[in-house]
Amino acid sequence: MEQKPYRSIPISPEEITPKHLYQTRRQFLKQMGIVGLGAFLAGCAPGALESTPGTAAPGSDALGDALTDYDAVTGYCNFYEFTTNKETVDDLAQDFITQPWSVTVDGLVENPRTFSLDEILSGFEQEERIYRMRCVEGWSMVIPWQGFPLHKLLEEVQPTDEARFVAFTSALVPGQMENANSDLFPFPYREGLRLDEAMHDLTILATGLYDEPLPPQNGAPVRLVVPWKYGFKSIKSIVRISLVPDQPPTLWNTIAPQEYGFYANVNPNVDHPRWSQATERRIGETGRRETLFMNGYAEAVGSLYEGMDLTEQY
């Protein structure tokens, strides 16, 4: 079968930098010195040098963008049920209990079912997907996720013909989430996708990052990742997935529909009403880079939006 351009590139085990090397890479690089750098890279990743353009080298995404540091991915993120502070959320979320955990899949399906975390982890082959993540606030990262396409789970429960949308709900645990009872947000966090978006192979349920189980602040134990949409669509710590006939209410779209559309596709041509979305700051880089239409995944997902006016349905 011909490989589709958007598929995550299969990475053979010998191509992956071992974790102990990865985690001590700075020290290692320092020890190697600048002169040894080229030889080291060439020696470590022969496959990368020979690979065809557009495929991911280890340590980078399909566009050749370098992975964002593990410390940044896990130390800088939004999880408003804990706090609105992106840099203290990791501490506040540390005691979040994610085992036992279950995800109920119901609504317009032939086989409604509650999956335990073990069933999710062992019932679906976990694969690596290196995706760009673009936050609506104007920053971005490149993150190596472990997980599996959402369509594999949906195929098990078999959506009925009436199912048109998929509604997701996050856990809301007041005892463990400091901000859970805030009057400023209509928690629980909810998100939604059109069924064809949910069935797209790029859409995954992630269970890990950097070959580690998801840390709580990153949405443990299971979260959605939709790489061509703004980060707030990628709902964290999912407890319920419902197949529904109509467009479901979602948190940010409920708060400010004029600012956060249901689709929320990354689009440099459609500004947030209060700030531009034309550029972004890649965490770890200085300066700004241009934001890509559909976050660079337009070739893969453009057909989902044929005939739609994306400035109206943002």
Under the rule (CB under 8 A), what is the footprint of other proteins?
Answer: 71-72, 75-76, 80, 84, 86-87, 136-137, 139, 183-186, 252, 254-256, 259, 271, 274-276, 278-279, 281, 283-284, 287-288
Our CB check for other proteins shows the closer of 70 and 96 to be: 70
What lies within 8 Å, CB to CB, of 15 at 6+ separation is 45, 47, 48, 58
Q: How many CB atoms lie within 10 A of CB 11?
A: 17
Bridge partners, 223 (sequence order): 206
Give the Cα separation of 57 and 45 in Å (integer): 8
Beta carbon of residue 301, minimum distance to other proteins (angstroms, whole number): 25
Give the Cα separation of 236 and 78 in Å (integer): 10
Burial class (CB in 10 A: 0-12, 13-18, 19+), 31: exposed
Integer distance in angstroms from the first to the last C-alpha of the chain?
34
Our CB check for other proteins shows the closer of 20 and 274 to be: 274
Q: How far is CA 9 from CA 3, 55, 64, 127, 227, in A?
A: 9, 6, 12, 10, 15
Beta carbon of residue 159, minimum distance to other proteins (angstroms, whole number): 31
Give the Cα separation of 286 and 130 in Å (integer): 22
Our CB check for other proteins shows the closer of 112 and 138 to be: 138
Beta carbon of residue 255, minimum distance to other proteins (angstroms, whole number): 4
Beta carbon of residue 26, minimum distance to other proteins (angstroms, whole number): 12
Our CB check for other proteins shows the closer of 160 and 254 to be: 254
Give the Cα separation of 144 and 68 in Å (integer): 9
DSSP string covering 159-174:
B-TT--EEEEEE---T
Our CB check for other proteins shows the closer of 276 and 303 to be: 276
Nearest residue to 235 (alpha-carbon basis) of 79, 129, 55: 79
Our CB check for other proteins shows the closer of 148 and 187 to be: 187
Our CB check for other proteins shows the closer of 15 and 81 to be: 81
